[in-house]
């Protein structure tokens, strides 16, 4: 891996399980990468927006000594259980049931009091809000995140993004297949950063992840849906070859 040492996540090597429990590329490496960029410190309170099955949430609670609240409004598309029920069960497996709370909720209607969290963390989630709720709903979600952060609190978002170049002609059919296609969901780093700044955050860092293509390669190899449908996302990534698809992150701070 280029440039970043995965000192905490390198202990976890069952990638089939990791990718079955996490959404999109990156897995626990993504969680560690974001936590380090956000400066997550022990004893603090973190909100995970769009926690999915909560594998990353539990990792953060265990490895960083925080209290983590995971919210997700969705039910599991495989088993039908609420995602936060998976989080509850996974917290027991990880031994962090006293440090993790799951609530079936989403943004912008979190129901939390203002200034509740030291950190808000969101990976592979808000790009779906942008599609399902439009730009107005997306901005409302960002402003809700700003509201629930304490003054001086840190917001970190990591999500699939494109490299800010036109879609290659041969890739177009693969990324334009439906209403939630990659072409619709993925935005460039600059566009995402500008919207987060517009919501009130002071941007402290934004970039494409150096290991983005390695994460996508691991996703294609280990994600259960990719293994079931090699002609789907794995084929898209094969055709892409790193020309358009990437993964970006933005770190923002709420003013004191």
Residue 72 lies in a domain: yes
pLDDT of residue 158: 98
Q: Tell me whether residue 81 is in a domain.
A: yes
Q: What is the number of structural domains in the chain?
A: 1
pLDDT tens profile 103-133: 999 999 999 999 999 999 999 999 999 999 9
pTM of the predicted model as reported, rounded to 2 decimal places: 0.96
Q: 225 forms bridges with which residues in the sheet?
A: none
Q: Are strands 149-162 and 187-188 parallel, antiparallel or unpaired?
A: parallel
Is 93 among the domain residues? yes
Stretch 215-220: mean pLDDT = 98
CATH assignment at residue 60: 3.40.50.150
Share of the chain above pLDDT 70, in %: 99
Q: Is the peptide bond between 108 and the residue preceding it cis, with omega within 30 degrees of 0? A: yes
132: which residues sit within 8 A by CB, 6+ positions away?
A: none
The pLDDT of residue 1 is above 60: no
Any domain includes 153 = yes
Asked if residue 107 belongs to a domain, the reply is: yes
| 3-state SS class at 102 | strand
Does residue 22 sit within a domain?
no
pLDDT tens column, 12-53: 999 999 999 999 999 999 999 999 999 999 999 999 999 999
- Name residue 82's beta-bridge partners: 75
For residue 142, being part of any structural domain is answered with yes
Domain extent at residue 200:
38-209+246-253
């Amino acid at each position: 891996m280029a440039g970043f040492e995965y000192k905490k996540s390198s202990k976890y090597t069952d990638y089939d399980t990791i990718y079955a429990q996490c959404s999109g590329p990156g897995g626990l490496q993504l969680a560690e990468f974001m936590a380090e960029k956000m400066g997550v410190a022990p004893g603090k309170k973190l909100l995970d927006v769009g926690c999915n099955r909560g594998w990353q949430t539990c990792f953060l609670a265990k490895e960083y000594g925080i209290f983590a609240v995971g919210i997700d409004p969705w039910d599991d598309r495989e088993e039908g259980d609420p995602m936060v029920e998976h989080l509850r069960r996974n917290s027991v497996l990880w031994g962090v049931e006293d440090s993790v709370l799951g609530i079936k909720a989403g943004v912008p209607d979190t129901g939390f009091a203002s200034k509740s969290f030291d950190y808000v963390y969101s990976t592979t989630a808000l790009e779906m809000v942008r599609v399902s709720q439009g730009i107005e709903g997306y901005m409302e979600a960002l402003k809700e995140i700003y509201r629930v952060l304490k003054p001086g609190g840190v917001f970190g978002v990591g999500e699939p993004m494109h490299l800010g170049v036109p879609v290659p002609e041969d890739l177009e059919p693969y990324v334009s297949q439906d209403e939630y296609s990659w072409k619709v969901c993925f935005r460039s780093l600059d566009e995402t950063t500008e919207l987060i700044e517009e919501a009130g955050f002071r941007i402290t860092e934004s970039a494409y992840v150096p290991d983005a293509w390695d994460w996508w390669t691991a996703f294609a190899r280990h994600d259960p849906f990719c293994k079931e449908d090699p002609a789907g996302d794995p084929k898209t990534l094969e055709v892409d070859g790193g020309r358009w698809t990437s993964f970006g992150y933005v770190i923002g701070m709420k003013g004191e």
